[in-house]
């Protein structure tokens, strides 16, 4: 056996990632091929079922036309070429998540035609525009939801909830154009924003947007990571798998082609099975569904109803609110974030100040809580009211940071928090002067330092703010300290 060649640093870091994104069409009220309700979350397990989604003998599926409408809308937004004639295929596999032992999906070979092919998504990465190509967009039914007691590799049994089986699902398959876990995150963030602006899926619903990732490093085979339950977990799963594959290659071991499961709790990938080939699925046209003819008129009708997409919205926000492109890009990375910003702008006149607070303190508070803005209790009116209180001089910027943190956590309006926590700004000069006098007594060295270092005054201001828990008016405090120092002839 020949000795494995040592990879150069460039080769070792050569990563190729392709994604298979699964998006539930949560805007639909029923499943893809039957009349069962699609509102399965929180419902009694296995209660939203019928002979069609169970695949019982004699039952026949009927395609949900609205699902095709929404799929066409997504294809248009992704610059894809919509097939004028598309059809469904059977993807055969024997596993508990499909009661029929096959999934009604689409196929792009052997005469199969997916809903659309080609297209792209552009997003900003490392201060440049990155383009990820789309191979195809197809529509299929979601399998059942599996639940385990503990981890997938240690659970003594598997629980199956077929309520999800048959939910309309879009699968978007990308070219292997993604070079890192960070790029994957940015791509998915942009895709999610597009989907949310279209209104076809609610990304806040658990499991509504999921992803499988195909990843390979130079010197190894392609590995598929399945069961990544949310877009948030994709970066972690890819980071782990890149490290795992690098270590194997460095040791001279082979990275085999296989399917691995992402264990979200332990944050590791686990081998599930040797990767199947397409022939294992025995694809053939679905005999119970007729091909779908998509006319030019049908496409044009949907095109005329397309909502504003993130890139167009970004351009409009820059023009309408006179904010920097960077700010507009951050805000339109999420529809909920952009909606919140525009609602604030209706209530408060300074758009730049709104965006500053949203991108810094509000973003930090949301990150600490691990939630999206749509999941938080803050309302546009609360942020706007808080900014007005700053303008009126009733609270300082430092106090406002504390107030905002509590608004996000409790959902209380700023006025209630200020009264409850006694956070009103101290503007009484006599009161502030007494605190300054005490600071001068306690920190004589800092007073002396101002003779040679004018910036040392900031230390004295900081001590006053500390003693007042940030409530002293910083402008008044600064002026009174300078006036007292002038008496000492230190400045």
Each of the 491 residues of the chain gets a pLDDT tens digit; together they read 334 344 444 344 589 999 999 999 999 999 999 999 999 999 999 999 999 999 999 999 999 999 999 999 999 999 999 999 999 999 998 888 988 999 999 999 888 999 999 999 999 998 899 999 999 999 999 999 999 888 888 889 999 999 999 999 999 999 999 999 999 999 999 999 999 999 999 988 888 999 999 999 986 789 999 878 887 899 999 999 999 999 998 888 889 899 999 998 899 999 987 756 677 789 999 999 999 999 999 999 999 999 999 999 999 999 999 999 999 999 999 999 999 999 999 999 999 999 999 999 999 999 999 899 999 999 999 999 999 999 988 888 888 999 999 999 999 999 999 988 877 777 878 888 989 989 898 888 888 888 888 788 888 988 988 888 788 888 888 889 888 888 775 44
In a domain, 153, yes or no: yes
Final residue belonging to a domain, choices 250, 268, 302:
302
Q: 258-263 and 168-174 as β-strands: parallel, antiparallel, unpaired? A: unpaired
In this structure, the answer to whether residues 405 and 357 fall within a common structural domain is yes
Residue 276 is predicted with a pLDDT of 61
Residue 489 is predicted with a pLDDT of 58
Those residues with Cβ within 8 angstroms of residue 58's Cβ, 6 or more apart along the chain or in another chain: 51
Residue 31 is predicted with a pLDDT of 98
Q: Number of folded domains in the chain?
A: 3
In a domain, 3, yes or no: no
In this structure, the answer to whether residues 388 and 458 fall within a common structural domain is no
In this structure, the answer to whether residues 141 and 246 fall within a common structural domain is yes
In this structure, the answer to whether residues 409 and 337 fall within a common structural domain is yes
In a domain, 215, yes or no: yes
CB 294 within 8 A of CB 72: yes
Residue 76 is predicted with a pLDDT of 98
Determine the Cα–Cα distance for residues 488 and 491; give it in Å rounded to an integer.
8
User: Could you tell me the residue range of the domain that residue 98 belongs to?
Assistant: 9-302
In a domain, 1, yes or no: no
In this structure, the answer to whether residues 349 and 294 fall within a common structural domain is no
Question: How far is the CA of 438 from the CAs of 357, 432, 441, 446, in angstroms?
Answer: 34, 10, 5, 13
In this structure, the answer to whether residues 208 and 82 fall within a common structural domain is yes
List the CATH number of the domain containing 483.
1.10.10.410
Final residue belonging to a domain, choices 245, 269, 302:
302
In a domain, 4, yes or no: no
Final residue belonging to a domain, choices 245, 267, 302:
302
In this structure, the answer to whether residues 270 and 326 fall within a common structural domain is no
In a domain, 2, yes or no: no
In this structure, the answer to whether residues 79 and 153 fall within a common structural domain is yes
In a domain, 407, yes or no: yes
In a domain, 363, yes or no: yes
In this structure, the answer to whether residues 181 and 270 fall within a common structural domain is yes
Those residues with Cβ within 8 angstroms of residue 78's Cβ, 6 or more apart along the chain or in another chain: 116, 119, 120, 121, 134, 137, 172, 194
Residue 230 is predicted with a pLDDT of 80
Residue 8 is predicted with a pLDDT of 45
In this structure, the answer to whether residues 204 and 55 fall within a common structural domain is yes
Residue 199 is predicted with a pLDDT of 96
Q: Is 29 exposed, middle or buried (0-12, 13-18, 19+ CB in 10 A)?
A: exposed
In this structure, the answer to whether residues 109 and 236 fall within a common structural domain is yes
In this structure, the answer to whether residues 349 and 400 fall within a common structural domain is yes
């Amino acid at each position: 056996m020949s000795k494995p060649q040592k990879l150069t640093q460039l080769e070792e870091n050569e990563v190729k990632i392709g994604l298979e994104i699964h998006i539930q069409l949560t805007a639909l009220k029923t499943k893809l091929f039957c009349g069962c309700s699609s509102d399965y979350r929180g419902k009694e397990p296995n209660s939203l079922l019928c002979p069609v989604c169970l695949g019982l003998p004699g039952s026949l599926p009927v395609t949900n036309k609205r699902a095709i409408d929404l799929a066409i809308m997504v294809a248009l937004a992704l610059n894809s070429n919509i097939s004028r004639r598309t059809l469904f295929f059977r993807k055969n596999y024997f596993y508990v998540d499909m009661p029929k032992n096959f999934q009604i999906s689409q196929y792009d070979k052997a005469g199969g035609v997916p809903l659309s092919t080609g297209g792209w998504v552009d997003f900003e990465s490392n201060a440049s525009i990155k383009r990820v190509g789309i191979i195809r967009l197809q529509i299929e039914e979601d399998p059942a939801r599996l639940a385990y007691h503990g981890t997938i590799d240690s659970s003594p049994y598997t629980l199956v909830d077929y309520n999800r089986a048959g939910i309309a699902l879009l699968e978007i398959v990308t070219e292997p154009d993604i070079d890192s876990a960070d790029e994957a995150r940015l791509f998915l963030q942009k895709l999610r924003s597009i989907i949310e602006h279209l209104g076809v899926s609610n990304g806040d619903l658990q499991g509504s947007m999921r992803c499988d990732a195909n990843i390979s490093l130079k010197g190894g085979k392609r590995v598929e990571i399945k069961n990544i339950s949310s877009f948030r977990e994709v970066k972690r799963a890819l980071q782990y798998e890149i490290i795992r594959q690098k270590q194997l290659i460095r040791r001279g071991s082979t990275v085999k082609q296989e399917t691995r499961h992402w264990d979200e709790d332990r944050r590791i990938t686990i081998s599930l099975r040797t990767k199947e080939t397409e022939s294992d699925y025995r694809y053939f046209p679905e005999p119970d569904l007729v091909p779908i003819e998509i006319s030019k008129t049908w496409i044009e009708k949907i095109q005329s109803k397309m909502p504003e997409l993130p890139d167009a919205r970004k351009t409009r926000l820059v023009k309408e609110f006179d904010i920097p492109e960077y700010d507009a890009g951050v805000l339109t990375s999420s529809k909920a974030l952009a909606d919140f910003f525009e609602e604030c702008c209706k209530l408060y006149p300074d758009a730049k100040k709104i965006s500053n607070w949203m991108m810094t303190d509000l973003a930090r508070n949301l990150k600490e809580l691990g939630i999206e803005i749509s999941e938080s209790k803050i309302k546009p009116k609360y942020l706007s009211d808080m900014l007005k209180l700053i303008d009126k001089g009733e609270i300082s910027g430092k106090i406002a940071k504390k107030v905002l943190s509590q608004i996000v956590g409790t959902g209380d309006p700023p006025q209630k928090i200020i009264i409850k926590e006694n956070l009103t700004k101290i503007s009484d000069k006599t009161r502030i002067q007494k605190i300054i006098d005490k600071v001068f007594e306690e920190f004589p060295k800092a007073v002396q330092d101002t003779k040679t270092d004018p910036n040392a005054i900031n230390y004295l201001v900081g001590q006053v703010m500390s003693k007042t828990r940030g409530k002293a008016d910083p402008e008044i405090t600064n002026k009174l300290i300078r006036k007292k120092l002038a008496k000492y002839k230190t400045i």
